[in-house]
Chains A and B, each alone.
Chain A
Amino acid sequence: MAFESEDHAKAYWKENLSLMIKLLIVWFTVSFGFGIILVDLLNQITFFGFKLGFWFAQQGAIYTFIVLIFIYIHQMNKLDKKYKVDEE
């Protein structure tokens, strides 16, 4: 057992899952939400010459994905340190 206690192990996993789920909600919203389900609605807004829904589907979602992964990397490294399960 790499954790100091059973409770630590549980808490670490819980924090990990909650971070993952929050980021996945954003992932779903920008792509399936803005890019597909709500596309017609958002298309009524113009954004730098693009219809907004179309822009999310072809540009915006991709930029958001990158940001999400880097947030995850940053937060997980902090979490690993907090529970002392990081690699040397």
Chain B
Amino acid sequence: MDIKTLTFIVVGLTFALYIGIAIWARAGSTNDFYVAGGGVPPVANGMATAADWMSAASFISMAGLISILGYDGSVYLMGWTGGYVLLALCLAPYLRKFGKFTVPDFIGDRYYSQTARTVAVICAILVSFTYIAGQMRGVGVVFSRFLEVDIATGVLIGMALVYFYTLLGGMKGITYTQVAQYCVLAFAYTVPAVFITMQMTGHILPQTGFGATLADGSGQYLLDRLDGLSTELGFAAYTEGTKSRLDVFAITMALMVGTAGLPHVIIRFFTVPKVSDARRSGGWALVFIAVVYTTAPAIASITKVNILNTLNGPEQQGVLYEEAPSWVTNWEQTGLIRWDDHNEDGRMFFSNDERNEMHVDADIIVLASPEIANLPNWVVALVAAGGVAAALSTSAGLLLVISSSVSHDLLKRTLMPDISDRQELLYARIAAGVAVLIGAYFGINPPGFVAQVVAFAFGLAAASFFPAIILGIFHKRMNSTGAIAGMVVGIVFTLSYIIYFRFINPAADNAENWWFGISPEGIGTVGMLLNFIVAITVLKFTKDAPNEIQELVESIRYPKGSGAATSH
């Protein structure tokens, strides 16, 4: 069977599974829609968190970016896993004890202020929009390749699917479908990785395989070969990278802290029955995430060698276009791979200097990796299904945050307190619809690769929520004025920096013009520091939080007496 038919069958089957589960677990009440009635066991919750977490950015884009960035790509690996340590140690148990539905609820109640709540809602919406824009691009890449359409059509098809899918169930439906989605995406990610590792080095485990010697009899280590090839072709040595250490530090920090401040991840920890379960959920989530994250760098390096060998030939002299492997011609239809024969010799050549004739979009590398390695068609179809699962699960979680922020936090709690549950649900659905449309626009006109756009969302979360939540738990005198000032300064600073370099003056978007050489991806770290400094300084000049709030903070510091999450 050809790839297209197989993809339809595999994606169709997995879809039937998710929708079946969503219908079976349909949300009955508003409580169910938001937090699944608080009755999800930690291992299942960990798996669902992992699926929620590992988006199109992790699945489709990350290994591709690492493949291009080499060592510099480690920012994504460490950044998107290390955040779970912060989450499990510093946030999850306390937020669970606090017992609220959403992050703005926590901020609003802890800082006894409607203004604080509204600022938090606006931050949550900004973060989630940025994030979902990246996801839509990811879904678009998958659909454009396997339906053989251009990328814009792919985005529109994906958008319709995501919206339809989110409407079917709220959190409860999503929790159990996400368990299924985790299984599909982890399987789809690791199976091809095992195959390509065996081909290349004879190892079964990708985690050890990419450090091993090549199976071609040369006895050379894979990473040494890759370093050598990269320098010959004008790329930086794979294991060294080119970013400044400070920038690597800043991006990693922004991603870690952002992870701990992301509203759609935090909401997960409200759905477990007990405080001890919230801690355990964080641990399990990281175990499941690590399965994919420790495999990714293996896919990245092995596929890089494969790409260089198939485009340039084993002698690195270029390969005749007529003899181009099928993955090149297949992906050319999407516009994500291009060949310009500058020297008119009819041969393709991929390098990072004047000899280069290829444009290879980083976002196709994972999806194309089984094709590049000549794996059977069913493996290619499986990877497509995994990509769809990853993008769907995260988009659904994000849409839920956007819709609950608008309908619950903004309308019900602030602007229109009299609306019924039914109306609230209706507004939630309208908000999700608007969100998906804006997401689609940025999916078609992306301001960067999927993983980079997503990194901006993390920077925004790092600069706004993380300090407010940490201070809310660990600094009991922190008052509303300080927290609000901190959040506003943090997010405005970070957003302006990103918008300036990405949209207003993209020509200046390079290390020479960046402040201290920190890229827009890493600027969230500076935003976070500003947030902390502003909040603590403002506190010095204003009154401490009232006594009853300080007592409330004391009471979230131990597990005993946690009830179910409530909305008021």
Q: Is B487 an interface residue (CB 8 A)?
A: no
Which residue on B lies nearest to A37, using beta carbons? B245
Category for how many chain A residues contact B: 35 or more
* Complex CA distance for A72 and B554, rounded to whole angstroms: 20
B75 to chain A, nearest CB (A): 9
Q: Is the CB of A51 within 8 A of B223?
A: yes
* Complex CA distance for A21 and B93, rounded to whole angstroms: 16
Given A36-B245, A49-B223, also A63-B558 (CB < 8 A) = no
* Complex CA distance for A52 and B510, rounded to whole angstroms: 30
Q: Is the CB of A61 within 8 A of B81?
A: yes
* Complex CA distance for A50 and B223, rounded to whole angstroms: 7
Q: Which residues of A contact B297 (CB under 8 A)?
A: 58-59
Given A27-B82, A31-B78, A72-B279, also A66-B211 (CB < 8 A) = no
Q: Which residues of B contact A24 (CB under 8 A)?
A: 85, 89
* Complex CA distance for A35 and B252, rounded to whole angstroms: 10
Contact indicator per residue, chain A 1-38, by CB within 8 Å of chain B (1) or not (0): 01100000100110010001001100100011001110
B7 to chain A, nearest CB (A): 30
Q: Which of A3, A86, A87 has the largest number of chain B CB atoms within 10 A?
A: A87
* Complex CA distance for A12 and B560, rounded to whole angstroms: 13
Which residue on B lies nearest to A50, using beta carbons? B211
Selected from A62, A72, A73, A87, the residue in CB contact (under 8 A) with B274 is: A87
Q: Is the CB of A12 within 8 A of B82?
A: no
* Complex CA distance for A2 and B557, rounded to whole angstroms: 11
A41 to chain B, nearest CB (A): 12
Which residue on B lies nearest to A77, using beta carbons? B276
Interface size, chain B (Cβ < 8 Å): 50
Q: Is A45 an interface residue (CB 8 A)?
A: no
Q: Is the CB of A2 within 8 A of B290?
A: no
Q: Which of B82, B290, B554 has the largest number of chain A CB atoms within 10 A?
A: B82
Q: Which residues of A contact B78 (CB under 8 A)?
A: 31, 35, 57, 61-62
* Complex CA distance for A86 and B212, rounded to whole angstroms: 47
* Complex CA distance for A42 and B286, rounded to whole angstroms: 26
Interface residues of B (CB under 8 A from A): 66, 71, 74, 77-78, 81-82, 84-86, 88-90, 93, 207-208, 211-213, 221-223, 239, 245, 248-249, 252-253, 256, 274-276, 279-280, 282-283, 286-287, 290, 293-294, 297, 554-555, 557-562
29 contacts between A and B (CB under 8 A): A2-B558, A2-B561, A13-B557, A20-B90, A23-B89, A31-B256, A39-B71, A50-B211, A57-B71, A57-B74, A58-B74, A58-B297, A59-B294, A61-B81, A65-B82, A65-B290, A66-B287, A69-B89, A70-B283, A72-B89, A73-B283, A76-B276, A80-B276, A84-B560, A85-B560, A87-B275, A87-B560, A87-B561, A87-B562
